[in-house]
Amino acid sequence: MRASLLTAEHETFRETLRTFIRKEILPHVDRWEQQGQIDREIWKKMGDMGFMALNYPEEYGGLDLDFYFSMILCEELSYCFSGGFTISALVIQYMSAPYLLKHASEELKQKYLRPVLSGDLISAVAITEPGAGSDVQHIKTTARREGDYYLVNGSKTFITNGYYGDFFITAVKTSPEKGHKGISLLLINRNSPGVTATKITKMGWLASDTAELGFNQVKVPVSHLIGEEDAGFKYLMGGLQLERLTAAIHSLATAESALDYTLDYMRQREAFGRKLQEFQALRHRVAQMVADITTTKAFIQHCCDLQQQGEYAVKECSIAKLQASELAVRVVSQCLQLFGGYGFTEDYKIARLYRDVRVGTIIGGTSEIMLEIIAKIAIDDIQYQPKTNT
């Protein structure tokens, strides 16, 4: 990051965060990975430090800081060697709670947003469905208005924080006949009658709880409608750029952490009487990874500048998500190769990173979707416009 944008205050925050991570997170990561569950207490501890509310207004318990603090948070949490923990944190602050801040009523903000920012409640966003995948327009979960309630029926899948979380920002069809113009967002409590959650066994991100949700005649108060009825699709489209940018920061920082971890190993490991770091073929492989990470990081920092300026940067965030996630897969794979047989064991954390990093090209829109968005802008001259709150 250019020196003119990162101040002494930013660097002090980074050091404070690192100290917190060393004390409160790293000692527990292996256990969280093994048990497939993160201790709820960590969210409260992070909330007490203000780490859950960096960019939120002070009136809801936030710190009202610039986006570079969030960039630092995403980077440092990604150095915990647990993609599952990191994504759980990012989902709360950057992928679910923003819908409350931007579109929810004051009542919902006080009842749900404030406790999320303090670490007392865990939020999730429930969009993806078994039959629709990333195709939001074709979700089938319905919400039929009956007096002061909506009756919700349907299912969601791959929902991070869906099993142990407290509530979901849920995409539903309130007017199915309108297609994507009939989607609304509802806040649904996890413990509401008719809500079921089944944990999904995953290849990676083991610390996070990922669930398939079921909704069977779930009564949701009309007051839990977020924003206007049938306006959910434009709300979702407006939130994707932040989701993809934070995912890009996470992917790149994971690649950086993998390379740093590998360099430490290469300094110690010997083969044929020489340190691994002395072999030219390996040195040049590392040099190329450094070059790729450095150039991608410069572009992501440019995207952070745009986010800080309030730009609706669809093209840039799509490129960042595409490049960072694909690069992270390549870098972690090459790093594992440098560990030799040890990389294939659980004795070294590179194996965990290898499992965790693979999903980066899938979440928040697959690489194929990112390419199609970029193609529409570059080839078809489509101009994506920001989505307003009305």
**Crossing angle (nearest 10°) for helices 83-90 and 232-268:** 150
Task: Assess whether 106 carries a catalytic annotation.
Answer: no
Residue matched to tokens 């939020």: 123
How many residues appear in the chain? 390
CA dist., res. 318 & res. 162, Å (int): 26
* Catalytic residue from among 243, 270, 311, 316: 243
What tokens were used for 322? 């595409």
Active site residues: 243
